[in-house]
A and B are shown apart, each in its own frame.
Chain A
């Protein structure tokens, strides 16, 4: 990728290489510049061939500059809500959090990079410090960064997906929760008092499971299911694809009901933890955001307003996390225990 002097005005490139599709976004004069590349081997580890293919697409798609912010792979990220001694006690909160994460995930304390931020006090006052900790093993980070070496892209930061999603939806009316429907799972992010207070990767919401069910029950491969279910503009235009949608409706409906049920359980937990929180607005994003009937099903099941993308912008809903990552900048209340 050619170095462009004027690229600094465009900002960083947000990259998401998790799942079946690699996505990129960058701020542009007429809205964000977006790109999506299908991986040849979705289940395999991200390698140099993937990085080279992605860099080539970016070069041809109008992206400028070479500084990129990478979203941490969702499967590799270790996150937890921790209760630690009050900060007024002088206890080393960061070190304690690192040791607690290492103990929970049975790994060495210095084998991962850790980020944490304070959470609002829950309904019951216990005097403890509640923090949200997110950790990424160094080995997995190095594996991806090494794959990008020599492609012209410089990874300047690895962002936490939950924070990127919150950043991506911060432009307009902030939702109370965000669900990012991806290949490996649906990530539910709950925000309260402007802070991400909850995150859960719902494996039942993985598109890979939906595609497997569709192939098992209808015999359709992923290449057929994807345009029928996830690209409604194509389905509406083509009668042939429309006829293919009918047998998939049942599978998709079951998937959506299962996802709404899991989301409802998680939100019930959050509502129990934070009495002042309630779901009024849910943002749906990710690769499955454009799935036919998903927003309606979630809105009905959760009894909340459900919008696609940030402020209902469905065109960029799949890239919402990448857009948020491209806005990566120095935080004001974040603590890194690195």
Chain B
């Protein structure tokens, strides 16, 4: 009943699969919601962002988080000698510790090498799975509805520079590759409006870590680079800059992104040759006399035919390790051979 595979019957390949990262498999979303419950409890640290409004949609799930970090704790409550969690300092330390090499206390955004603050978009791990596809995302930001003085900017469109920055930046980081976030669009083919190296002393719009699922955004560039988003930096002040950045995302009304996975597949070629597998242990294949003698049912006795519905893959100890089902039974007879390719993904 078992048939051994030969060396020619198996092959393994690794394929890259990309798909929409957002809920329901969408590759772009235009609406963004936060949870009042989450924001009330931990909103000073991060804002969980949903595709659907969690207050009236039970299936709404977190898509990504938005944070603001400041090395000195500016923009959050607390300081030395005062109560408060200094949440922005905690966020800065978190990102700095994760991304930057030891003894580094600032972020580098191209020519701006001393940024002590950063916004970050952190993708939900389950949504991201393995990595974000470089060159597969575009984020629109708009500050048109921001409250406060000095808001003059219009919409900006951000992508990464992986299309021209092969292999990523060569700065020492804990995660590679690192790409720059630049102004541009994917519509009609990737177009970079201004390269990171041409952005001047304010630096690039940020850096992007596909394997980490983090977009690190440069606040200084958001203030001067067309968006006009002013990041508040009051001492011992609950400024909620992450909320202001979140509002820019809401107003931008567009976030496109794809995830990327490497899928290792093994293909098993199951060959049932003409003289094999033409009988079965299926009870309905036989009639049985009172004496217990089995006879193949009429119509199949002289011209035996069987049907394949299931393929079982076994190890040497005859343990059933994988099962493949066909969509419909396949006829097998002495005049028919069957070749079934069974794909097992890891």
A binds B: no
